[in-house]
Amino acid sequence: MKPLRFIYGGFGFQKGYNFVLYAITAGALLGFVLARVQYLDIDGIFREESIPGEYYWYQSGFRRVGIIMHLVGVLFGGMFAFLQFTPIIRHKALWFHRISGYLAILLLLAGNAGVYMIIDHSIGGVPAMRLFFGILGAMTTIGLLLAYVNIKRLQIDQHRAWMIRTWAWAGCIISLRLILDAATEVAHRYDITLHTPIRCDEIFFMYLNNAGIPNEQNPTGKIYEQCGDNASTNPLEILISTEAGGPESAAALLRPMFLMSAYLAITIHALLAELYLWLTPAEHYRLRIVSYQKQVEKGLRKRGSPKEAGLGSTRFGDAPEWWSLLREDQAAPTA
């Protein structure tokens, strides 16, 4: 047991199960962002590894700026978030914790801005996919703002809660990828056929980029007569089967599977974040008391006042007066 205590104690944890959760969640976040840093090579790794047709929209223009902003923001923001959830840093280097916190917030906000720049064509750009990216971007942006306001008001318990929620939501991309891999494997194993609308110019680009077929030999116009001789610039959408055989068949499978995986992943992560907060009321209470003490010291709150300085339930909700006071300030609750 002593070696284990030495390990998790070195990270600033007092209980082993908290370190296990940290290793699974924060560790997965760090591993994911480190593995995805290579995608910053937009014209190399990203072009080759992304879903067929995605790179078509990122060759130039504002969408290229958007995808770069998104990748830089979420990847480096995720790295700083990993440091934020490491207790030893908060205990030994509070100044670094604060700086990395500001950087994590700014980077994730930049990443969200990038998402809104590419939302119209990302993963096919169907309305349900746009809705997912729009909601996730709004959720994480609002979560960051609430976390920031609460820490500026020294409401540490609410800052913790909103940071956990925000990065749990943002981290749904990790589970999304795992679900996507499993879903595509099931689709291949059981010969599931799907039909997905894809633009002619995207299909033309897939044969050029993913199949390596030159423009003059591109078969898009012959395979899909609706696309015609101007397939390279034709924005017409046609239904593509997952049994089509070319690179477009991979896109026809991955796009709807990505959509399904996205909604399932955010649902799982949102529920798990609330479950974790529900299972850790002792830490929430401890930080609420610490918040009370610091708010009184800084003059943000009068001693004995039941109203929290931050955006808590005593300010906007119906929490009773004893909810946020020190024991010596608490009055016995009445029925």
For 263-288, the pLDDT digits (tens) are 999 999 999 999 999 998 988 989 99
Task: Indicate the average pLDDT of the chain.
Answer: 92
Angstrom distance (rounded) from CA 197 to CA 188: 20
Contacts of 95 (CB under 8 A, 6+ apart): none
Statement: residue 332 has pLDDT above 50 = no
Contacts of 104 (CB under 8 A, 6+ apart): 77, 80, 81, 84
8 Å CB contact between 231 and 201: yes
Report the pLDDT averaged over residues 124-128: 96
SS3 assignment, position 232: coil
Angstrom distance (rounded) from CA 306 to CA 316: 12
Res 21: pLDDT? 87
User: Tokens in use for 279?
Assistant: 């299972």
User: Tokens in use for 253?
Assistant: 């499978």
Res 5: pLDDT? 74
Lowest mean pLDDT among 18-22, 67-71, 137-141: 18-22
Lowest mean pLDDT among 25-34, 153-162, 195-204, 321-330: 321-330
User: Tokens in use for 60?
Assistant: 């130039």
Statement: residue 322 has pLDDT above 70 = no
Report the pLDDT averaged over residues 119-125: 96
List, in sequence order, every beta strand (DSSP E) within the chain: 195-199, 237-241
Contacts of 248 (CB under 8 A, 6+ apart): 52, 53, 198, 202, 203, 206, 240
Q: Is 324 exposed, middle or buried (0-12, 13-18, 19+ CB in 10 A)?
A: buried
Report the pLDDT averaged over residues 178-207: 96
8 Å CB contact between 293 and 325: no
Contacts of 147 (CB under 8 A, 6+ apart): 105, 158, 159, 162, 163, 166
Contacts of 226 (CB under 8 A, 6+ apart): 200, 236, 238
Statement: residue 169 has pLDDT above 80 = yes
Res 1: pLDDT? 59
Lowest mean pLDDT among 127-131, 192-196, 305-309: 305-309
Give the bridge partners for 195, in sequence order.
241
